[in-house]
């Protein structure tokens, strides 16, 4: 039995102030399930994390959650996932999520989502992976981050190629179209 395509979603453990963040999380969970892909995420049952997982489950999608023991109560570890892993540390959590994903999508979120994003971006910059890394820019949420990355380049702290490692899309339909294209291209390339 082959492993389904797996999409790692980094996102907030809160809903945020704009209701469209929650709508996007639910639309993404539904879209992942509809494609027959597997959701890989932080195993929480609150905020955008909970929304994307519950919607994927409701659509019959496979879910793979990873949570560190110290966040189990705080993020309300969602035990009814297809796969539920408890790690000792945040570092282990990020590694397990990344290693079990074919692509990474970043929804709105806070410091934890930024940490996950920047670690994945750094690994791409160092040539450690070529997985698609996509910001879901709901209502311009990631515009300041994109501006910061451009600032880093213009100030001489990174090559302009840094910007090529990240793609930004405005909504879930555009995200899904990009993922289909990127993942089909990746599967066509010999290892």
SS3 state at 37 = coil
CA distance 184 to 147: 30
Which tens digits make up the pLDDT trace of 85-143? 899 999 999 999 999 999 999 999 999 999 999 999 999 999 999 999 999 999 999 99
Whether residue 191 has pLDDT greater than 90? no
Whether residue 188 has pLDDT greater than 70? no
6-183 CATH pick, 1.10.20.140, 3.40.50.450, 3.90.1150.10, 2.60.120.40 = 3.40.50.450
Six token digits for residue 59:
């659509």
Q: In what helix (H) or strand (E) does residue 54 lie, and over which residues does it extend?
A: helix 47-58
CA distance 181 to 187: 10
CA distance 191 to 187: 9
Q: H helices of the chain, where?
A: 19-35, 47-58, 90-99, 111-125, 143-154, 172-188
Which tens digits make up the pLDDT trace of 23-52? 999 999 999 999 999 999 999 889 999 999
Six token digits for residue 72:
């189990």
pTM assigned to the model: 0.93
Phi, psi (degrees; rounded to nearest 5) at 43 = 70, 15
Contact 18, 51 (CB under 8 A): no
Which tens digits make up the pLDDT trace of 62-85? 999 998 888 777 776 778 888 888
């Amino acid at each position: 039995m082959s492993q389904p395509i797996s999409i790692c979603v980094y996102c907030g453990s809160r809903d945020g102030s704009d209701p469209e963040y929650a709508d996007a999380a639910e639309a993404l969970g539904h879209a992942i399930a509809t494609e027959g892909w597997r959701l890989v995420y932080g195993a929480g049952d609150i905020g955008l994390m909970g929304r994307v997982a519950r919607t994927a489950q409701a659509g019959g999608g496979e879910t793979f959650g990873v949570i560190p023991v110290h966040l189990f109560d705080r993020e309300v570890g969602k035990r009814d996932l297809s796969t539920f892993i408890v790690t000792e540390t945040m570092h282990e959590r990020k590694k397990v999520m990344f290693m079990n994903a074919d692509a990474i999508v970043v929804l709105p979120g806070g410091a934890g989502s930024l940490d996950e994003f920047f670690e994945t971006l750094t690994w791409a910059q160092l040539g450690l992976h070529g997985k698609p890394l996509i910001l879901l820019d709901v209502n311009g949420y990631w515009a300041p981050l994109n501006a910061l990355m451009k600032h880093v380049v213009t100030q001489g702290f990174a090559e302009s190629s840094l910007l090529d490692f990240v793609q930004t899309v405005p909504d879930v339909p555009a995200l899904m179209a990009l993922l289909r294209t990127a993942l089909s291209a990746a599967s066509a390339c010999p290892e």
